[in-house]
Amino acid sequence: MSVFRAAPREPAAHRPDHRVPHQRTPDPGYPDGPTEPLAAAEEGQAARERAARERAARGNVARDIVVPTGPVRARRRPGVVVAVLFSLLALLASGAAGWFSWRVLETTRAAATPRPSFAPMASEPVRSRPPEPERYPVAYAKEPLRLQVACAGVLHMDLDEPRADAAEVLADLRYDGGCGTRPAQLSLGVGATGGSRQVSADADAADCDRAIRTGPLGRGLQVEVKAGTALCVLTAAAPAGLVLVEIIDVGGSGTAGLRATAWRVPEDR
């Protein structure tokens, strides 16, 4: 059994601080006594812990924040799209209403504006139709005329009788006999007031009257004497006569055979 010996106590003179505790000089680093350093240490520890928690919180927040690197696209909200559609529909309805209002206004103005009345244009006087064939009494029908002249000779015809050899001042038709290769010719005489070759051999008085009005034969123009040719002549006698002259045959040495039919023209024509 070991015996522990107590170490001899050093005399007070050799101790570092041999003064009585209540006589010791307080430590200048702790002016508030021996308990103040412990409280300060605890407060410092608490402050450091709070600072650490705050840093950790800031770090977590920074980690949670995602910085977008691409273009940021706005989120389409259904409510916004519906509102835009309703706005467009309202705009279209407003435009349609305005167009209908404009049409109604134009129709009302057109109905209220008096229309100008146009006076009927003066029409040309209606010409009476030529008299019917029964109104043209026949003067003679299919009267033969035989013409014969020397080479390049001239013969005048009065169609009112009829006469194949008449005075020139009374002649309604002129006959120029051919010579050599030149055929004989017929033309209007000084006693005729009109004529036409736009007829056929079966024409009547109305056809002759119409042909003279619509297709007259000019003064001085000649018609070749050829079998089958026909022409109408309006004489200047009183009463006037419409004469259809048909060329029946053509012979040599300036001879020709003609046939004439005449109608009296009514005075009220």
Query: Which domain covers residue 175, as residue numbers?
Result: 137-264
Name the pTM for this structure: 0.52
Residue 159 lies in a domain: yes
Overall average pLDDT of the 95-101 stretch: 80
Considering its fold, how many domains does the chain have in total? Answer: 1
Asked if residue 10 has pLDDT above 70, the reply is: no
Query: Percent of the chain beyond pLDDT 90?
Result: 38
pLDDT tens figures, 171-221:
999 999 888 888 999 999 999 999 999 999 999 999 999 999 999 999 889
Asked if residue 159 has pLDDT above 50, the reply is: yes
Residue 183 lies in a domain: yes
Overall average pLDDT of the 94-108 stretch: 80
Residue 221 lies in a domain: yes
Nearest C-alpha neighbor of 183 from the set 247, 229, 228, 226? 226
Question: In the prediction, which pLDDT does 178 show?
Answer: 85
Place of tokens 């920074």: 62
Residue 92 lies in a domain: no
Residue 173 lies in a domain: yes
Residue 145 lies in a domain: yes
Structure-block tokens of residue 16: 């570092």
Asked if residue 101 has pLDDT above 70, the reply is: yes
Asked if residue 227 has pLDDT above 60, the reply is: yes
Place of tokens 């307080």: 26
Evaluate whether 235 touches 127 at the Cβ level (below 8 Å).
no
Q: How far apart are the first and last CA of the chain?
A: 191
pLDDT tens figures, 20-39:
444 455 555 444 444 445 56
Asked if residue 148 has pLDDT above 50, the reply is: yes
Residue 130 lies in a domain: no
pLDDT tens figures, 76-91:
567 777 888 878 888 8
Asked if residue 18 has pLDDT above 60, the reply is: no
